Amino acid sequence: MTTAAHRPATLEDVARLAGVSRSTASRVIAGTGFASPDARDRVATAAHRLGYVPNPAARALVSGAGVRLVVAVAGTSAAVLDDPYVHRVVGSAARVCTPAGVGVALHWLPLGEPTGLDQLARDRSVCGVVLVNTTEDLLDAIPRSLRGRVVSIGIGSPTVPSFDVDNTAGADAVLHHLYATGRRRIAMVTGPQWLPCSRRPVEAYRGLMRQAGLPERVLPGDFSAARGRAAAGEALRRWPDVDAIYAISDETALGVIAALSDEGVRVPSDVAVAGFDDIPLAAMTAPALTTASHPVGRIATAAATALLDGRPAAPVTLFPSVLVARASA
Amino acid sequence: MTTAAHRPATLEDVARLAGVSRSTASRVIAGTGFASPDARDRVATAAHRLGYVPNPAARALVSGAGVRLVVAVAGTSAAVLDDPYVHRVVGSAARVCTPAGVGVALHWLPLGEPTGLDQLARDRSVCGVVLVNTTEDLLDAIPRSLRGRVVSIGIGSPTVPSFDVDNTAGADAVLHHLYATGRRRIAMVTGPQWLPCSRRPVEAYRGLMRQAGLPERVLPGDFSAARGRAAAGEALRRWPDVDAIYAISDETALGVIAALSDEGVRVPSDVAVAGFDDIPLAAMTAPALTTASHPVGRIATAAATALLDGRPAAPVTLFPSVLVARASA
DNA sequence: CTGTTAGCGCCTTCAG
DNA sequence: CTGAAGGCGCTAACAG
């Protein structure tokens, strides 16, 4: 801790100063194996005085561990990597990986050609892969050698633990809220068709509409605000009596509200609008957005932690999605 | 590319299959040094057939390079690491670092005790540090051994290249817009006091107000939407004639608008509101937010790229901040 | 132009 | 309980 040595101390330096062998120093610093209290103490002191910081790269090399955790995002174009959702996942992952000496990498998995995973499987610096926007095809394409080192934020499989929000329950809660507050002409803006986890809310919607004897009005979406704007216009045109629009993303919902306002339609008196995610700004818009929460940070943290821990995770970890009733619906 | 070998191929395997030495294989794969067209070809073929992927950790170990790029964020609490702005920086950095086999780590630098940097300096797995929320104290505390491996998103120093948005010009543009559209009682909500780059807009504001003979009305802020809500109330109470509120963050501006709406104050007819950043949602709120753009992604990309390239960057790289006039002001 | 020779910093059997 | 020895996968001088 004293001198800012120009050449950072190595384990060798610590061992020499402590008057022990590298092996012993290694044991006490890694906290593995035996060491006498005396040795333990001298090594600790030496390490402290030298300001010794272990080199994760060397450590990984010898133990075959890997120094990078890869966030692999499926999508139609590399632009998915700029998505705020993806950034939240990467940020949260980086935060938990840092203390372990692991860095985070960000990969794009082009939809329909899942060979990208093969390369990751052969990269010995990769300690694990977090799949985002997981599809069935993707799960099928996971190389055997990656087994046990892959988790999914979204759907999983017998060999790939899933960390996900309870989409169905979240959608149900919002839809019930809409119904309970008197809405009967409810339109829905979906997520991307190819994304499994955006199908569940649609099923929930169709089920409830059918059950209540209400018309089904589905508009395809892509989670974007721009799509929300367009979808609102379509909804108004096709179904002038619409009294609620449920979007599967807060961004989209805000786009819907913006378009509605432009058209002179009032929210929520004329048309109620609800979203999904509860992004930080959802509480700050006018009107404040009614939505279901989606703890992205906690999910990503759990997924990354499972990988770092190494031991097999539960097949499915579901995070609750709770209704947040605000002004927009 | 053929077999998904259970044990990933090493350079040794490639060399053997190609019938050359490890060194030669290394040269053609790393693209460094000489190699006959023949050797080059055979190694390439072998590597391809084996699906060889170099191990960045081993490579870094021997070349002394480092496998992690650290995003180090100064702040009063570790909660800064959850900031959307920070996540954007990390995401963008991860994207450019990935092809280089470098992972991204995320560190919190507690304000006022800059010893965190010492530890980073001694970690041989760190190839570079991107400072976020840089303060003068932080710049002073950078260990010599880190020189040339640190860049700053924010203020810099003779030894630390700065990548930043042109705050002054951005603030000027917004303020002039406010003035040009007839606003004369302009209040401002600042960023955190300790953050150097949030001081420049304040100076711009004071300068312009003084020059125009208008009253100075400054409210301390912290970039948060919650603070925006509170600040709007204060502004209304202290200066009932206020006709514009300029916040140094879009989140804060949206908080201001929300509070104003709650109070029955109309935006922009009663009070104009402007922000700073142009976050994606700024165009989707009602009213759409007038702001100045802040290309966080490009800035972070440039900063990370400079570190990866290794060669000294320009002392200051300024990104333009352009006025985006929408409905709120 | 190519192969040989040394390690990078660390962990992990093994004898002692 | 401890030290000696070997090697993780790769690159960087060197001689040939």
User: Per residue in B272-329, pLDDT tens?
Assistant: 999 999 998 899 888 899 999 999 999 999 999 999 998 889 999 999 999 999 999 9
List the structure tokens of A202.
């649609």
**What is the chain B residue with the closest CA to A286?**
B258
Smallest CA–C1' separation from A38, nucleotide = D1
User: Which of A82, A228, A285 has the CB atom closest to B285's CB atom?
Assistant: A285
Closest-CA distance of chain B to residue A309, Å: 18
Stretch among A253-262, B1-10, B43-52, B232-241 having the lowest mean pLDDT? B1-10
Most B CBs within 10 Å, among A104, A109, A273, to test the B interface: A104
Task: Give the mean model confidence (pLDDT) for residues B160-166.
Answer: 97
Averaged pLDDT score across all residues of chain B:
93
Protein residue with the closest CA to the C1' atom of nucleotide C13: A23
How far does the CA of A4 sit from the C1' of D5, in Å?
32
- With a CB cutoff of 8 Å and minimum separation 6, the contacts of B327 are B268, B287, B288, B289, B290
User: Which of B56, B84, B102 has the CB atom closest to A280's CB atom?
Assistant: B84
Please say if the pLDDT value at position B214 is more than 70: yes
Q: Is the minimum distance from the CB of B5 to strand D below 7 Å? A: no
Q: Which residues of B touch A122 (CB under 8 A)?
A: 5, 8-9, 51-53
Write down the pLDDT at residue B280.
87
| Cis peptide, bond prior to residue A268, ω within 30 of zero | yes
H/E element holding B21? none
Residues A108, A78 contacting (CB under 8 angstroms): yes
Instruction: Give yes or no on whether A68-165+296-319 and A167-292 have one common fold.
Output: yes
Q: Helices (DSSP H) in A22-166: which residue ranges?
A: 22-30, 37-50, 56-63, 84-97, 116-122, 136-140
Residues B250, B220 contacting (CB under 8 angstroms): no
Alpha-carbon Rg of chain A, whole angstroms? Answer: 25
Averaged pLDDT score across all residues of chain A:
93
Q: How confident is the model at residue A286 (pLDDT cuts 50, 70, 90)?
A: confident
Q: Which residues of A touch B92 (CB under 8 A)?
A: 82, 87
Contact A284 B88 (CB under 8 A): no
What are the residue ranges spanned by the domains of chain B?
11-54, 68-165+296-319, 167-292
Write down the pLDDT at residue B3.
43
Q: Which residues of A touch B98 (CB under 8 A)?
A: 70, 105-107
Please say if the pLDDT value at position A1 is more than 50: no
Q: How confident is the model at residue B15 (pLDDT cuts 50, 70, 90)?
A: very high
Q: Which residues of A touch B61 (CB under 8 A)?
A: 55, 57-58, 61
Position with higher pLDDT, B46 vs B2: B46
3-state secondary structure of A273: strand
**What is the chain A residue with the closest CA to B97?**
A105
Q: What is the CATH number of domain B167-292?
A: 3.40.50.2300
Q: Is the minimum distance from the CB of B100 to strand D below 7 Å? A: no
H/E element holding B218? strand B217-219
Write down the pLDDT at residue A116.
83
Contact A84 B280 (CB under 8 A): yes
Task: Give the mean model confidence (pLDDT) for residues B169-176.
Answer: 96
Please say if the pLDDT value at position A160 is more than 50: yes
CA A234 to each of CA A221, A228, A242, A243, B164: distance values in angstroms, whole numbers, following the listed order: 12, 10, 11, 14, 41
Write down the pLDDT at residue B32.
85
Strands, E, within B24-87: which ranges?
68-75
Please say if the pLDDT value at position B2 is more than 70: no
Smallest CA–C1' separation from B63, nucleotide = D11
Q: Which amino acid is at B106?
A: L
**What is the chain B residue with the closest CA to A119?**
B53
Contact A55 B104 (CB under 8 A): no
Closest-CA distance of chain A to residue B108, Å: 9
Contact A90 B104 (CB under 8 A): yes
Q: Which residues of A touch B95 (CB under 8 A)?
A: 81-82, 106
Task: Give the mean model confidence (pLDDT) for residues B230-246.
Answer: 97
Protein residue with the closest CA to the C1' atom of nucleotide D7: A62
Task: Give the mean model confidence (pLDDT) for residues A141-156.
Answer: 95
- With a CB cutoff of 8 Å and minimum separation 6, the contacts of A84 are A279, B84, B87, B88, B280
User: Which of B67, B118, B280 has the CB atom closest to A67's CB atom?
Assistant: B67
Protein residue with the closest CA to the C1' atom of nucleotide C5: B23
Task: Give the mean model confidence (pLDDT) for residues A154-168.
Answer: 96
N- to C-terminal Cα separation, chain A: 58
**B161 φ, ψ (degrees, to nearest 5):** -60, 140
How far is A153 from A137, CA to CA, in rounded Å?
A: 15
In this structure, how many other beta carbons lie within 10 angstroms of the beta carbon of residue A182? 9
Contact A98 B119 (CB under 8 A): no
Q: Which nucleotides of C are covered by protein (CB under 7 A)?
A: 1-13
Smallest CA–C1' separation from A37, nucleotide = D1
Strand partners, A110: A75
User: Which of B68, B88, B145 has the CB atom closest to A6's CB atom?
Assistant: B145
Write down the pLDDT at residue B127.
95
Contact A124 B55 (CB under 8 A): yes
**What is the chain A residue with the closest CA to B98?**
A105
Contact B57 A60 (CB under 8 A): yes
Q: Which nucleotides of D are covered by protein (CB under 7 A)?
A: 1-13
Write down the pLDDT at residue B58.
95
Write down the pLDDT at residue A280.
87
**B96 φ, ψ (degrees, to nearest 5):** -80, -25
pTM of the model: 0.94
Write down the pLDDT at residue A31.
85
Task: Give the mean model confidence (pLDDT) for residues B219-227.
Answer: 94
Closest-CA distance of chain B to residue A105, Å: 5
Task: Give the mean model confidence (pLDDT) for residues B141-146.
Answer: 93
Write down the pLDDT at residue B193.
92
Write down the pLDDT at residue B297.
96
In this structure, how many other beta carbons lie within 10 angstroms of the beta carbon of residue B121? 24
Q: Which residues of A touch B261 (CB under 8 A)?
A: 286
Position with higher pLDDT, A113 vs A288: A288
- Domain B68-165+296-319 CATH class label: alpha beta
Q: How confident is the model at residue B34 (pLDDT cuts 50, 70, 90)?
A: confident
Please say if the pLDDT value at position A259 is more than 50: yes
Write down the pLDDT at residue A51.
93
User: What pLDDT, in 10s, does the model give residues A210-247?
Assistant: 999 999 999 999 999 999 999 999 999 999 999 999 99
Residues near chain C (nucleic strand), Cβ < 7 A?
A 10-12, 22-23, 26-27, 29-30, 32-33, 54-55, 58-59, 61-63; B 19-24, 27, 33-36, 38-40, 58, 61-62, 64, 124
Please tell me what DSSP assigns to residue A22: H
Q: Is the minimum distance from the CB of B64 to strand D below 7 Å? A: no
N- to C-terminal Cα separation, chain B: 58
Position with higher pLDDT, B170 vs B34: B170
Q: How confident is the model at residue B116 (pLDDT cuts 50, 70, 90)?
A: confident
User: What pLDDT, in 10s, does the model give residues A38-86?
Assistant: 889 999 999 999 999 999 999 999 998 899 999 999 999 999 999 999 9
Please say if the pLDDT value at position B141 is more than 50: yes
Task: Give the mean model confidence (pLDDT) for residues A161-178.
Answer: 96
- Domain B11-54 CATH class label: mainly alpha
Residues A225, B284 contacting (CB under 8 angstroms): yes
How far does the CA of A115 sit from the C1' of D6, in Å?
37
